[in-house]
């Protein structure tokens, strides 16, 4: 079953194979991604406070260099290769089989690039009103740790970065956040750490049991343990649960989500942007890399529960977002809904579902990051985020309103913008394998339009009340900062193929792995490619047509909605 | 009462050894201990002869040099043990193995840190004198005796030398009533605990016919004791004695008061050196001697102690308002964590405990170095409120304290993370998943405590007025101690390979004495 699919796609990708050769250079790309921001942090720490003007410059320069490295990685990435690339494998604690094993594949590649792109934008787009030195220092540490999480291929190394991320974020929220920041920061730290506590026990158990079953020395190498699949079904399910708690907190899945609205709302703008764009992906990325890959059987076993929680998240997040009076909190709840889609797609166990999930992971980062940036700018101008106190901004600041509209529509998932392909693929994938979850999830698409459009209407339409009269138009610098995100919103909405091409081989490899390990697993797909000559199948061609058609439809629809307000 | 299946009667070997006369003593094998003890005695003599003409820094430097020499003396011994295997000297009373050398190293390190902190402290408090350092060195010598004892009586003597000096050190701050109170409390409760230990030793002797650990181990593996009530009671009483020294719940009640009342540098030594010695005794007696035969009997007891210590330590810590008390409770929960490794009762567990003790020495002496500095004249400003705004007033100190606190919370790339990781690894390898989960969850609870201090230092709106006005002085000794502690904490977290290998090679062994 999966074989035919692989065949057809490999034919599709044949041209791509020819174009790009393996990444030839031996430049240690991943260490560079981690070390560059750390060097920035050290330089910032060493500069005396009298030269406080330098902090931002150094942070921006190092993050841009890191971003450039990540782009270079994207360019050098071998499109057709489903395995890990840019691999580095050095022993770290050899007695316990813990190694500095790094590598990226199609699943993690775009998260690394996203991290590289979002950080400079968050740094440039948000102002800091006090203590610039620790602010930029912690942001650089955060960037290094995020890069580490997405590229680690050793369980302990991954865990170390996963936990390390907490510390800078804790300080960012606690020192530069809003009124209730200490509560939010502490809650964020403890919630995540509690989840990780289970994961640590789980990963040690996994390594111990794996070593026992294989009879070899203990190893924490992800690739090897995933390949071995040596532990018993029961043990696998227990350990999966231990991992799932940690990831569910991080995603966050209902009912472990309560830290998120607090953390996002109280965080400073840069913190919110990074939280939404990068931090939230740690959980869903973890589910793919350390759930599906390590525990295919247990993940498949838990899929109904996880999908149900994902769907609850979609609906619950949307309803909560509708009820919010605080604009930033609204965006925070909308994240819960989006992340619900990702979880649904991951556990739908289909190529489209998984691809869609990875697309949403990246695109949610772009659009929600941009939304937080815009909300942050509204707050800078008006010193309030209360929807009720904002009104008629469109008349005072039409360009600002236009940018907000574009970003908002992308977040809603309007066809033609980047929010659409991911959601569409997730729904497509879940219809094939988990129809009823898909049916319920579709309503989330409508709800998203409801809460965001309603919020837009209240904030940007209506009469211009007195305090909003002086609302400043979008500055040129602000426009330049957000421009890359706007370009990505449109480009990835219209032409997601370059992304899909790189994601697909890895996703197929992952599902082939699941197929091989799970008894009675059946990959249900909506056939997605145009039928090859000689292969006549009505269903296929229909699906193919839909695919071809939707981008066109998207463009026109986007045009409509954009024109409306 | 006892049915023996006699194969190799301990009485015979005893007789054989007695016949050979006074045993030869290999002095080099106990060199570190001798250096510490002689260093202490010589210091007392020299300072007495000089009659106050010695400069005020002299005793501190002497102590640091002595402890460093003892530390250096460990290296040839380590090489000898790795080449020739573990040895027993002094008629089987003292063992020379990787384990005892590792613990000796920890104790020496703890003495160095304590002396560095004391240097500025006694000057600030106007309590200059060599007595502090003499007592510190003698106490350390007791700890080393304990770590290398192969005989219960020798272990007891070591414990007493260690403790009596520590009681006096606790009460040494003659200007603070709380210090005297703590000293008395420590002494009375400590004496009780020693009595329990001694009673346990007596019962074990009654059950096995020997106080020598090698003979006890051999006897227990050769003999089936049909009625083991006496032996089990011996276990229980000894566990009370050791539990007191390491500050494990429910024998922890002295710890908060004593940690709070004792002079801060002494508390640093107490939390690192004395704890290490206590764990050394516990590991050698229970894991090495009783582990193979009676593990099933004592492990549940240690399980209960571990769980109680973890829960009491972490939950009680978060409601404290005094930083020294907080650290005292956190030290109880750390003891619980190390007990988890003891419970594993394996060589892996022993290595994990050793790594943890070394890591904890860096973290806790560093923390108490900050506490010593922050105590200011009178050693009294330890309320959490006194730390408000430290991040603004002294960013460097606050950052270093944050490193120690986060390391204790178990944040990766610090010593605290890997030490917790090794413990979890050792206990999971024994199939004790529930204990591992309890340990990790209580570590999260304890993390809240460390965050409270961080919140006070960085996030509080109204900094302590006094903090902004008064200049906090960081004496030279304390700054050296801070550097050592920070470097150690990060080094063990980032490149732990070498230390891990050493801890793995530091196997505790009982070797029969060959005369």
Min Cα–Cα distance to chain B from A157, Å: 9
Check residue B387 and report its DSSP letter.
G
Q: Which position has the token pair 């560095």?
A: B116
Which chain B residue is nearest to residue A162, measuring alpha carbons? B412
Who among B413, B437, B444 is closest to A193 (CB)? B444
**Given an 8 Å threshold on Cβ–Cβ distance, is B455 in contact with A190?**
no
Question: Would strands A98-104 and B94-96 be described as parallel, antiparallel, or unpaired?
Answer: unpaired
User: Nearest 5°: CA angle at A399, between A395 and A403?
Assistant: 120
Contact assignment for A164 to B501 by CB distance below 8 Å: no
Inter-chain contact B433–A181, Cβ cutoff 8 Å?
A: no
Cis status of the peptide bond prior to A252, with omega within 30 of 0: yes
Query: Are residues B411 and A185, on separate chains, in Cβ contact within 8 Å?
Result: no
Asked if B458 lies within 8 A of A175 by C-beta distance, the reply is: yes
| A47 chain-B contacts, CB cut-off 8 A | none
Q: Which of B433, B440, B451 sits opposite A186 (nearest CB)?
A: B451
| Cβ-Cβ contacts under 8 Å, A163 against chain B | 410-412, 417
Query: Which one, of B62, B31, B30, B26, lies nearest residue B44 by Cα?
Result: B62
The mean predicted confidence, pLDDT, of chain A is 83
Adjacent-strand bridge partners of B322 = B383
Shortest distance between the Cα of B138 and any Cα of chain A, in A, equals 36
Q: Does the distance separating the beta carbons of B424 and A189 come in below 8 Å? A: no
Nearest to B412 among A134, A164, A181 (CB): A164
Q: Are the Cβ atoms of A95 and B455 closer than 8 angstroms?
A: no
Question: What CA–CA distance (Å, rounded) separates B170 from B167?
Answer: 5
| Pairwise CA distance, residues A469 & B442, whole Å | 54
Mean pLDDT, range A497-516, rounded to an integer: 87
Contacts of B437 in chain A (CB under 8 A): 197-198, 201
How close does chain A come to B314, measured CA to CA in Å?
14
> Burial, A168: exposed, middle or buried (Cβ in 10 Å; 0-12, 13-18, 19+)?
buried
Closest to B365 (Cα-Cα) out of B2, B68, B117: B117
Q: How far is the C-alpha of B191 from the C-alpha of B197, rounded, in Å?
A: 10
Nearest CA-CA distance, residue A515 and chain B, Å: 30
Residue A564 predicted with pLDDT over 60: no
pLDDT at A539 over 60: no
User: Could you tell me which residues are beta bridge partners of residue B383?
Assistant: B322
| Nearest CA distance, B440 vs chain A (angstrom) | 5
> A42 touching B, CB under 8 A?
no
Closest Cβ opposite residue A204 in set B425, B441, B455: B425
What tens digit of pLDDT does each residue of A212-243 get? 888 888 888 888 888 888 888 888 899 999 99
- pLDDT mean over A122-151: 88
Residue A197 contacts B, CB cutoff 8 Å:
yes
- Do residues A139 and A270 lie in contact, with contact meaning Cβ atoms separated by under 8 Å? yes
pLDDT at A132: 83
Return the pLDDT at A82.
82
Contact between chains at A174 and B429 (C-beta distance less than 8 A): no
Of chain B, the percentage scoring pLDDT greater than 90 comes to 53
pLDDT (0 to 100) of residue B515: 55
pLDDT digits (tens, 9 = 90+) for A473-486: 888 888 888 999 99
Largest separation between any pair of C-alpha atoms in chain B:
76
Rounded Cα–Cα distance for residues A72 and A80 (Å): 17
| Cβ neighbours of A262 (radius 10 Å) | 22
Q: What is the pLDDT, as a whole number, of residue A557?
A: 40
Please answer yes or no on whether A201 and B433 come within 8 Å at the CB atom: yes
Please report the pLDDT score of residue A541 as a whole number.
41
Smallest CA-to-CA distance from B62 within B125, B172, B137, B170 is with B137
Q: Rounded to an integer, what distance in angstroms lies between the CA atom of residue B295 and that of residue B288?
A: 10
Q: What mean pLDDT comes out for the span B167-189?
A: 90
Asked if ipTM goes beyond 0.90, one says no
A89 bridge partner residues: A101
Separation between Cα atoms, residue A78 and residue B19, nearest integer Å: 80
> Which residues on chain A are in Cβ contact (under 8 Å) with B455?
174, 182, 186
* pLDDT at B259 exceeding the cut of 50: yes
C-alpha dist (Å) from residue B388 to A386, B319, B347, B374: 32, 17, 44, 12
Contacting residues of A for B424, CB less than 8 Å apart: 200-201, 204
Q: Residue A170: how many CB atoms within 10 A of its CB? A: 26
CA distance linking residue B374 with residue B381, whole number of Å:
7
- CA B163, distance to chain mean position in Å, is 12
With bands split at pLDDT 50, 70 and 90, how would you rate the model's confidence at B327?
A: very high
Partner-chain contact A204 B447, CB within 8 Å: no
Give the number of other CB atoms < 10 A from CB of residue A60.
16
Q: What is the pLDDT of residues A324-380, one digit of tens each?
A: 888 888 998 998 999 999 999 999 888 888 899 999 999 999 999 999 999 998 888
pLDDT at residue A537 tops 50: no
- Average the pLDDT over each of A501-515, A517-531, A540-554, B321-335 and give the range with the smallest value: A540-554
DSSP one-letter string for A136-179: HHHHHHHHHHHHHHHHB-BHHHHHHHHHHTHHHHHHHHHHH--T
The per-residue pLDDT for A115 is 92
Round to whole Å and give the CA distance between A153 and A90.
11
Q: What beta strand segments (E) does A271-402 contain?
A: none
Q: Is the pLDDT of residue A16 over 50?
A: no
**Tokens 């797909």, residue?**
A525
H/E element holding A190? Answer: helix A181-214
| A318 CA to centre of own chain | 18
Indicate if the pLDDT at residue A436 is higher than 70. yes
The answer to whether the CB atoms of B433 and A205 lie below 8 A apart is yes
Could you report the per-residue pLDDT of B340-394, keeping only the tens digit for each? Answer: 999 998 888 999 999 999 999 999 999 999 999 988 877 778 888 888 888 888 8
Chain B environment of A94 (Cβ under 8 Å): 497
- Provide the 3-class DSSP secondary structure of residue B224: coil
| Residue B51: band (very low, low, confident or very high) from pLDDT cuts 50, 70, 90 | confident
Give dist(CA A328, CA A374) in Å, integer. 10
A286-313: pLDDT as tens digits: 999 888 888 988 988 998 999 999 999 9
Selected residue with higher pLDDT from A160 and B10: A160
The pLDDT of A513-540, averaged and rounded, is 63
Chain A hits for B413, Cβ within 8 Å? 160, 164
Q: With CB atoms and an 8 Å threshold, state whether B412 touches A159.
A: yes
Write the pLDDT tens digit of every residue in A31-89: 888 999 999 888 888 888 788 788 888 889 999 999 999 999 888 888 888 888 888 88
For the residues B110-129, what does the mean pLDDT come to?
A: 90
CB contact under 8 A, B501 and A95: yes
Residues of chain B whose beta carbon is less than 8 angstroms from a beta carbon of chain A are 395, 406, 409-413, 417-418, 420-421, 424-425, 428-429, 433, 436-437, 440-441, 443-444, 447-448, 451, 454-455, 458-459, 496-497, 500-501, 504
Q: Quick one: pLDDT band at residue A467, thresholds 50, 70, 90?
A: confident
pLDDT of residue B189: 92
Q: CA-to-CA distance for B407 and B334, rounded, in angstroms?
A: 12
Interface size between A and B, measured as CB pairs under 8 A: 84
Query: Any CB–CB contact under 8 A between A213 and chain B?
Result: no
Any chain B CB within 8 A of the CB of A93?
yes
Contact B228, B291 (CB under 8 A): no
Chain A partners within 8 Å of B496 (Cβ): 93
Chain A contact set for B444 (CB, 8 A): 190, 193-194, 197
Distance, C-alpha A14 to centroid of its chain: 29
Which of A93, A98, A210 has the most B C-beta neighbours within 10 Å, making it the best mutation to test the interface with B?
Answer: A93
The minimum CA-CA distance between A510 and chain B, rounded to whole Å, is: 29
Domains of chain B, by residue range, sit at: 10-505
In chain A, residues with a C-beta closer than 8 Å to the C-beta of B417 are 160, 163
Look at B455 and A186 and tell me if their CB atoms are within 8 Å: yes
Q: Is B411 or A555 the better-scoring residue by pLDDT?
A: B411
Give the chain B residue nearest A94 (alpha carbons).
B497
Q: Model's pTM, two decimal places?
A: 0.87
Q: Do B444 and A197 touch (CB under 8 A)?
A: yes
- Judging contacts by C-beta atoms under 8 Å, the chain A residues touching residue B418 are 93
**CA distance, residue A132 to nearest chain B CA (Å):** 13
- Core vs surface per residue A515-544: b (16+ CB within 10 A) or e: bebbeebebbbbbbebbeeeeeeeebeebb
Q: Check B451 against A189: CB less than 8 A apart.
A: yes
C-alpha span between A506 and A514 (Å, rounded):
12
Tokens 């009982």 correspond to B510
């Amino acid at each position: 079953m999966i074989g035919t699919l692989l065949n057809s796609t490999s034919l599709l990708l044949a041209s791509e194979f020819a174009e790009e050769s393996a990444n030839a250079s031996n430049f240690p790309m991943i260490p560079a991604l981690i070390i560059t921001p750390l060097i920035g942090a050290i330089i910032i720490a060493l500069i005396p406070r009298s030269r406080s003007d330098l902090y931002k410059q150094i942070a921006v320069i190092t993050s841009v260099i890191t971003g450039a490295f990540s782009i270079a990685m994207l360019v050098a990435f071998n499109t057709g290769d489903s395995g890990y690339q840019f691999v580095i494998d050095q022993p770290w604690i050899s007695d316990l089989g813990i190694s500095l094993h790094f590598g990226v594949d199609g699943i993690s590649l775009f998260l690394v690039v996203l991290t590289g792109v979002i950080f400079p934008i968050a740094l440039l787009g948000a102002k800091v009103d006090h203590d610039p030195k620790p602010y930029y220092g912690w942001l650089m540490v955060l960037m290094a740790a995020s890069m580490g999480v997405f590229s680690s291929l050793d369980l302990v190394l991954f865990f170390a970065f996963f936990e390390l991320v907490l510390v800078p974020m804790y300080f960012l929220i606690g020192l530069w956040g809003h009124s209730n920041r200490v509560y939010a920061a502490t809650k964020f730290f403890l919630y995540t750490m509690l989840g990780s506590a289970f994961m640590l026990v789980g990963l040690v158990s996994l390594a111990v049991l794996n070593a026992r079953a294989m009879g070899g020395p203990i190893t924490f190498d992800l690739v090897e343990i995933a390949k071995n699949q040596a532990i018993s079904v029961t043990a696998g399910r227990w350990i999966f649960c231990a991992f799932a708690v940690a990831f569910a907190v991080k995603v966050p899945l209902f009912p472990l989500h309560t830290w998120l609205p607090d953390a996002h709302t109280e965080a400073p703008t840069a913190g919110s942007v990074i939280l939404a764009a990068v931090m939230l992906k740690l959980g869903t990325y973890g589910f793919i890399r350390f759930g599906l890959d390590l525990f295919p059987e247990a993940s498949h076993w838990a899929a109904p529960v996880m999908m149900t929680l994902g769907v609850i998240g979609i609906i619950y997040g949307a309803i909560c977002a509708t009820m919010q009076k605080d604009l930033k909190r609204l965006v925070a709840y909308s994240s819960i809904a989006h992340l619900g889609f990702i979880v649904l797609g991951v556990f739908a166990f289909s190529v489209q579902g998984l691809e869609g999930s990875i697309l949403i992971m990246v695109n949610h980062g772009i659009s929600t990051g941009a939304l937080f940036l815009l909300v942050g700018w509204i707050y800078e101008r008006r010193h309030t985020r209360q929807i009720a106190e904002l009104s008629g901004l469109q008349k005072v600041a039409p360009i600002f309103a236009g940018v907000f509209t574009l970003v908002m529509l992308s977040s809603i998932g309007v066809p033609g913008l980047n929010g659409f392909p991911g959601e569409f693929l997730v729904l497509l994938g879940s219809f094939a394998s988990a129809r009823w979850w898909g049916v319920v999830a579709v309503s989330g698409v409508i709800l998203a339009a409801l809460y965001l459009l309603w919020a837009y209407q209240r904030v940007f339409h209506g009469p211009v009340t007195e305090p909003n009269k002086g609302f400043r138009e979008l500055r040129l610098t602000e426009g330049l900062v957000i421009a890359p995100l706007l370009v990505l919103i449109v480009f990835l909405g219209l032409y997601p193929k370059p992304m899909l091409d790189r994601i697909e081989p890895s996703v197929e490899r992952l599902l082939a792995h699941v197929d091989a390990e799970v008894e009675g697993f059946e990959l249900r797909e909506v056939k997605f490619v145009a039928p090859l000559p000689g292969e006549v199948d009505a269903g296929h061609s229909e699906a193919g047509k839909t695919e071809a058609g939707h981008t066109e439809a998207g463009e026109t629809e986007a045009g409509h909605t954009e024109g409306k307000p | 009462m006892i049915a023996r299946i006699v194969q190799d009667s301990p009485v015979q070997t005893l007789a054989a050894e007695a016949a050979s006369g006074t045993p030869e003593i290999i002095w080099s094998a106990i060199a570190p201990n001798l250096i510490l003890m002689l260093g202490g005695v010589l210091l007392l003599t020299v300072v007495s002869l000089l009659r106050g003409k010695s400069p005020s820094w002299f005793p501190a430097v002497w102590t640091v040099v002595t402890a460093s020499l003892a530390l250096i003396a460990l290296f040839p011994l380590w090489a000898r043990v790795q080449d020739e295997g573990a040895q027993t000297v002094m008629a089987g009373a003292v063992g020379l193995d990787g384990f005892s050398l590792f613990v000796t190293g920890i104790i020496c390190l703890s003495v160095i840190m304590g002396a560095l902190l004391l240097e500025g402290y006694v000057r600030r408090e106007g309590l200059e004198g060599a007595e502090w350092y003499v007592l510190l060195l003698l106490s350390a010598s007791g700890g080393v005796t304990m770590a290398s004892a192969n005989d219960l009586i020798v272990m007891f003597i070591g414990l007493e030398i260690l403790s009596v000096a520590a009681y006096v050190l606790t009460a040494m701050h003659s200007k603070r009533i709380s210090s005297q109170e703590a000293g008395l409390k420590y002494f009375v409760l400590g004496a009780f605990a020693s009595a329990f230990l001694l009673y346990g030793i007596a019962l074990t002797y009654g059950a096995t016919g020997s106080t020598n650990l090698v003979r006890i181990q051999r006897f227990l593996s050769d003999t089936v004791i049909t009625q083991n009530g006496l032996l089990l009671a011996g276990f229980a009483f000894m566990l009370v004695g050791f539990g007191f020294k390491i500050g494990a719940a429910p024998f922890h009640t002295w710890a908060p008061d004593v940690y709070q009342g004792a002079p801060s540098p002494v508390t640093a030594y107490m939390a690192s050196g004395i704890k290490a010695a206590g764990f050394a005794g516990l590991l050698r007696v229970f894991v090495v001697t009783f582990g193979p035969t009676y593990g099933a009997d004592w492990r549940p007891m240690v399980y209960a102690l571990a769980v109680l210590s973890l829960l009491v330590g972490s939950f009680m810590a978060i409601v404290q308002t005094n930083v020294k008390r907080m650290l005292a409770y956190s030290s109880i929960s750390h003891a619980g964590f190390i007990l988890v490794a003891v419970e594993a009762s394996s060589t892996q567990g022993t290595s994990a405990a050793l790594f943890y003790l070394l890591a904890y020495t860096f973290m806790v002496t560093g923390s108490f170095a900050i506490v010593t500095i922050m105590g200011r004249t009178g050693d009294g400003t330890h309320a959490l409120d006194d730390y408000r705004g430290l991040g603004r007033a002294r960013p460097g100190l606050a950052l270093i304290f944050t490193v120690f606190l986060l390391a204790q919370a178990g944040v990766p790339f610090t010593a605290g993370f890997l030490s917790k990781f090794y413990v979890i690894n050792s206990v999971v390898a024994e199939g004790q998943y529930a204990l591992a989960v309890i340990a990790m969850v209580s570590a999260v609870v304890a993390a809240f405590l460390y965050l409270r201090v961080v919140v006070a230092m960085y996030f509080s709106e109204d900094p302590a007025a006094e903090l902004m006005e008064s200049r906090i002085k960081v004496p030279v000794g304390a700054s050296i101690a801070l550097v050592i502690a920070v470097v150690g904490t990060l080094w063990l977290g980032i490149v732990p390979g070498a230390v891990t290998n050493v801890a793995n090679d530091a196997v505790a062994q009982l070797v029969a004495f060959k005369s």
